[in-house]
Structure 1
C-alpha cells in the first residue's frame, strides 16, 4: 500500500490485508565504530516511527541492527535465550528498544545450530547482528526463524528466514451465485419409497 523511505538506514513498507495493516521496517543500524550521538539519532528515529503505529496493527522490524544480544537472557523479555556470542553495548540498545515497544527478537526463540544463528562473517570472525522483531502478541504467528548458512544476500551477510502464519479470511457461504441445484437423485429415492 505504501513505501516510506526515512533515510539511508530506515524505510517502512505498509502491506494491507482484509483485516489490518502490516508495518514492515527495514533497518540498518550504524556500525560499532560510529559515535554514540549518531547511533542515538538512528534509534530515536526508529523509536518515533514505531510509536506512531496504532497498537492493534502488527509490526515487523528486520535488518542489520549491528549489535550482539548474546546467549544470556539477563531478564529481558524480548530475548529468547537462543542467540549467539556475547552481548555488547549495541545489543543493549536493541533490547532497550524492544522493551519499550513490547517486541520480541524472533530469531532468539528457536533452538538452532550455530551455523543457523550466525548472520555475519568477516575472515575468521562470525556474529549474529541481523534480526527479526515482532510485537509480543504476534509472536504466536511465527513458526520458525533461522539463517540460511550457504546463501549470501550482501557481502558477508547470510539471510535470516522467518516463517509467519497469516490467517486467511473465512469463507462465506451465504453469498452463493447462480441458481439453486436440484437434487434429482433424491426425487428417484422418494419415488421408490412411495411405491
Structure 2
C-alpha cells in the first residue's frame, strides 16, 4: 500500500527473543512507476478579490477609499459616479491607482488597481462617461474588467438605450477572454425570483424586478453572463447595495461568464464601510488556478552492470587491487564503507 510504513511500530521487543536493534527502513523508489504514483502537474490556487462601488464623487475620498480597499483586501475595484472630467490615471494612496474617464463633473467611471497588478495593465478602453474597460495580464491569462454606470430612473429612454448599445458593441471584442467581469451600478432591480432567467439569476437576489432590471437580465442572457451576487444565499444586509432613508434596494451587480461561475468562492455586500453616502461595497472572490511545473527529481547516475564482461573484468580487478590492500587489524565494519565506495566509483568509471 502506498504511503504505508511497515517498520515504524510502537510494539515492544520481547526481552528473550526479539531483536534489540532498529530494523532497516524500506528502500525508497526513485522510479515513477504507476503503482507508486507519478509526479503530476500541481495546481496553485490564488484568490483575487474584485469590488464595485458607486462612490458618489471621488473628490476628497481617494485616500479614504484606498484605505478601505486595502483593509478589505480588494485587488481591483470598479467605481461609478467619479465626477471627474478627463481621461487620466492617478495614485489615490495605499499603492492603489485609479484609471478614470469623464466628460463632465457628473457621471464618470473608473477602475482602481492595487500595487501588485497596476503594472500589468495591457489595455484601457474609455468608451463613454458611463462605460470603460481595462485588460490586465494575469498568469492564467488576461482578465477584462468593465466598469459600468447605467442611466438612473428619470433619464430618457434614448439615454438608456444608448448605454446598452455601447455595451453590446464592447462585449464581442472580448469574446475570447475567459475572465470577463462587469462591475457596476446598473440601476435596475433584478429581484429575488428567477422567473425564466434560471441560467443567469441564482435565485438569491433582493426585492422585486422592474423593467430596468429586466434589461440587466436580458443582457446577461445575450452574453452568457451570470449575476454573481444572486447566486449566494445571504442575509438582506449582505444583498442590499443601496440605502437612502427607508429605501433599500439592490442595483449594483458583479457579472462574469457563466463558465467561470464555479471559480467564484463568494460574493456579498460589506455593509460596515461608509465610504459612499448611499451605496455599499460589493465584493467577489474569484479563485484562479495557476499551473506550476513540478521539479524533476535528480536521480543518481546508473551503472551499466550488464556491460561487465571478460575485458572489463581485467580492468576492474586492476583498478580495485590497490583499494583492497588493508591492514589485517581493520574490522569488517570499518572495511565495508571504503570498499563499497571504491567499487561504485570504479564501476562508474569503467561501465558508465
State the TM bucket, normalised to the shorter chain: 0.7 to 0.9
User: 18-27 or 95-104: which moved more?
Assistant: 18-27
1:82-121 to structure 2, matched below 5 A, reads: 82-121=204-243
Note the C-alpha offset of 1:122.
1.1
Question: CA separation of 1:192/1:95 partners in 2, compared to 1, >3 Å: closer, same or farther?
Answer: farther
Q: Indicate which of 199, 202, 210 corresponds to 1:80.
A: 202
Question: CA separation of 1:17/1:32 partners in 2, compared to 1, >3 Å: closer, same or farther?
Answer: same
State the TM-score, normalized to the length of structure 1. 0.87
Which stretches in structure 2 are left out of the alignment for 5+ residues? 1-121, 301-335, 342-352
Note the C-alpha offset of 1:138.
0.6
- 1-side partners of 2:184 and 2:160: how far apart? 15
1:91-127 C-alpha deviation (Å, 9 max, x unpaired): 0000000000000000000000000000001111110
Q: Indicate which of 154, 168, 192 corresponds to 2:276.
A: 154
1:100-179 to structure 2, matched below 5 A, reads: 100-174=222-296
Note the C-alpha offset of 1:167.
1.2
Q: Indicate which of 31, 36, 45 corresponds to 2:166.
A: 45
Note the C-alpha offset of 1:181.
9.9
Note the C-alpha offset of 1:171.
3.0
1:53-79 C-alpha deviation (Å, 9 max, x unpaired): 133532100110100000110110211
Equivalent in the alignment of 2:192: 71
- 2-side partners of 1:86 and 1:7: how far apart? 30
Q: Indicate which of 177, 180, 191 corresponds to 1:59.
A: 180
In the alignment of these two chains, the number of paired residues is 184
Whichever of the two has the greater Rg, that structure is: 2
SS state at 1:14 partner: strand
C-alpha RMSD of the superposition: 2.3
- 1-side partners of 2:195 and 2:136: how far apart? 35
Note the C-alpha offset of 1:193.
10
User: 150-159 or 122-131: which moved more?
Assistant: 150-159
- 2-side partners of 1:149 and 1:18: how far apart? 32
